[in-house]
Amino acid sequence: MEETYLLNVEGVKKKILHGGQGDLPKLQDGSKFTFHFQTLKDDFERTVIDDSREAGMPMEIIVGKMFKLEIWETLLSSMRIGEVAEFWCDAIHTGMYALVSRGMRRIAEGRDPLEGQKHRCGMGNMFDYHSTGYDDLDELQRTPQPLIFIMELFRVEDPSAYKRDTWAMSKEEKLAAVPVLHSEGNRLVLRREFAQAAAKYQEAVICLRNLQAKEKPWEDDWLKLESLVTPLVLNYCQCQLELGEYYEVLEHTTELLQKHNDNAKAYFKRAKAHAAVWNEREAREDFQRVAHLDPSMAAAVKKELKQLGERMRKKHVEDRKRYQGLFQSSQG
């Protein structure tokens, strides 16, 4: 039985689609909601914008952590565990939805949700984006409009009952987590568990990038954080080399070298990735750059160049045989 309620919030209507159990949960700062949601346009077709089930993971938000879409905390606070409810929210509450959705989509795609943001306040950032990278969200950003949210609340946990996700941590907690994640990654590398190690390094990098987003680029505090990021990115790239994810290495080392064009280790890892995907000219250029920047790596570079030469010669012989075979079969 559907029942309609008016919350004591202007521009919000609630309809309960399926009743929950027990009393309303007792909330405190740091309590965590876990829920699935659907976001719909308020049009005749009720066009679906986002669906967390399709993305493959439920949503989590932390009470009191200034989630950009503040109205969601209000909506969830009105729900019981197991309840499914539909909320109509006027445009006064939905102006930030495009940015929230962009971040969630990036997380679902395995990307950093803060990637590309400039050092600006939240509202400044909103007007800084020329595009979210998603056409439907660009439209919402240009013309905020009423939206419908269908939510199913699974769990409400006290702060002491769950492991804090890094994005929910305070600045001090993030800084404390980084060396722990770094050492856990190193320990996993020693056990040759490269995928798990890469995940630890990546989590530490995201912690630091979140902190960097609040600092002015190239000023002292930003540079201190950057000095912690660089070795973590290099460790992450080494794991990806071991896993055969060469294009991932090319992407991250190139991004690193755009900021730090004198980092010999980054050139070395990029050279190895270029060599692995048969980019001979680029690999040779990067290896030579390594030897120039760090003469102590000259022996390692010489060895890599020798191996590259042997691999390329072997490939040319195999290619020649294959082309000859193709030519002879076409003649026959």
CATH number of the domain encompassing residue 305: 1.25.40.10
Cα gap 35→150, rounded to integer Å: 10
Q: Is residue 166, in this structure, part of any structural domain at all?
A: no
pLDDT value for 143: 87
Identify the pLDDT of residue 304.
92
Which pLDDT score is estimated for 329? 55
pLDDT computed for residue 32 by the predictor: 87
How many domains is the chain partitioned into structurally?
Answer: 2
141 inside domain = yes
Region 177-191: mean pLDDT is 92
Over residues 56-67, mean pLDDT: 76
194 and 122 in a common domain: no
Asked if residue 212 and residue 85 are part of one domain, the reply reads no
| Residue 170 pLDDT exceeds 90 | no
CB atoms within 10 A of CB 16: 18
Tokens for 205, please give them: 């990098």
| Distance from C-alpha of 265 to C-alpha of 213, rounded to nearest angstrom | 25
Domain CATH number, residue 52: 3.10.50.40
In a domain, 318, yes or no: no
Of 42 and 214, the one with more pLDDT? 42
141/179 same-domain check: no
In a domain, 329, yes or no: no
Average pLDDT for the chain = 84
Identify the band that residue 17 occupies on the pLDDT scale cut at 50, 70 and 90. Answer: very high
Average pLDDT over every residue of 256-273: 94
Same domain, 73 and 144: yes
Lowest-confidence range among 59-63, 166-170, 292-296, 300-304?
Answer: 166-170
**Residue 230, in any domain of the structure:** yes
Q: Are residues 259 and 281 in the same domain?
A: yes
- Cα separation of 121 and 158, whole Å? 29
Residue 219 lies in a domain: yes
Q: Percent of the chain at pLDDT above 70?
A: 84
Helices 194-212, 220-243: axis angle to 10 degrees equals: 160
**Does residue 117 have a pLDDT over 50?**
no
Q: Is 163 inside a domain boundary?
A: no
DSSP 202: H
Across 215-227, average pLDDT: 91
Question: What CA–CA distance (Å, rounded) separates 120 from 215?
Answer: 9
pLDDT in tens, 285-327: 999 999 999 999 999 999 999 998 898 888 888 877 776 666 5
Q: Are residues 31 and 94 both part of a single domain?
A: yes
Q: Is 159 exposed, middle or buried (0-12, 13-18, 19+ CB in 10 A)?
A: middle
| Interior/surface letters 235-270, b for 16+ CB within 10 angstroms, e for the rest | bbbbbbbeeebbebbbebbeebbeeeeebbbbbbbb
Domain that residue 49 falls in: 4-157
Residues 184 and 151 in one domain: no
Task: At 326, give phi and psi (nearest 5°).
Answer: -65, -40
Q: Considering 157, 187, 212, which residue would you say is the last residue of a domain?
A: 157
CB-count exposure of residue 293 (10 Å: 0-12, 13-18, 19+): middle
CB 222 within 8 Å of CB 212: yes
Considering the domain architecture, whether residues 223 and 101 belong to the same structural domain is answered as no
Nearest to 301 by CA among 328, 275, 327: 275
- Look at residue 332 and tell me whether its pLDDT is greater than 70: no
Residue 261 lies in a domain: yes
- On whether both 243 and 152 belong to a single domain, the answer is no
Same domain for 181 and 108? no
One domain for residues 217 and 83: no
Where a domain ends, among 131, 157, 183? 157
Q: 8 with 152, same domain?
A: yes
d(CA 224, CA 218): 9
pLDDT for residue 102: 86
pLDDT value of residue 306? 92
